[in-house]
Structure formats: structure tokens, C-alpha cells
Amino acid sequence: METWMNAAYDGEDEEIYIEERVPELMTTKDYDPSDTSHMAEAISEASKDDQEIIRDYIEQRDWAKLGQKLYVMSYNYMEHFAQMEAQREVSNGL
């Protein structure tokens, strides 16, 4: 039973580590969602729905919503990679 409890505790520690590490990684150059190359990559990987939303904002000349949409897409895209990196760090015992 003690082994199970330690495993559960370790898993909880890993989750906490990842939750804290992802925002840290997002402030680094490698995962910065405001970096134009990261933003371009996120846009190039956009779903059909996101592509239509982008097109609609452009046609409506709603630059504020377009900017917000592009940033959120880039943030979510880079957050995914930061999460994977944090999980890799946990797997490697960092």
C-alpha cells in the first residue's frame, strides 16, 4: 500500500511541476507566442474553422478581433509544445 501512495504522490508532484513549468517556458524565446515565426507557424497549422474566422475578420476589417484571434492561436499552439517539453523534463527526471 505504501508503494501505491508514493506513486500517487509522485504523480501529483509531476502534475504540479508541469502546471508551474509551462508558464515559465512560455516566457522563453523558444515558446514565446508573440514571436512572429511562432505565430506564422500557428497560422500555417490553423484548422479550417480558424481559417474561416481569420478570413471573416479580414473581410470585416475587424483588426482588433483578428489580432486577438491570431495571438490566441499562437499562444495555444506554443502552449502545447511547452506542455510537451515539461512532460519530457518530468520523464527525464528534471
CA-based torsion, 76, 82, 83, 85: positive or negative? positive
Against a cut of 0.75, is the pTM above it? yes
Q: Mind giving me the DSSP string for the chain?
A: -HHHHHHHHHHHHHHHHHHHHHHHHHTSGGG-TTSHHHHHHHHHT--HHHHHHHHHHHHHT-HHHHHHHHHHHHHHHHHHHHHHHHHHHHHTT-
Contact criterion met (CB below 8 Å) for 40 and 54: no
pLDDT in tens, 65-76: 999 999 999 999
- In the predicted model, is pLDDT for residue 5 greater than 50? no
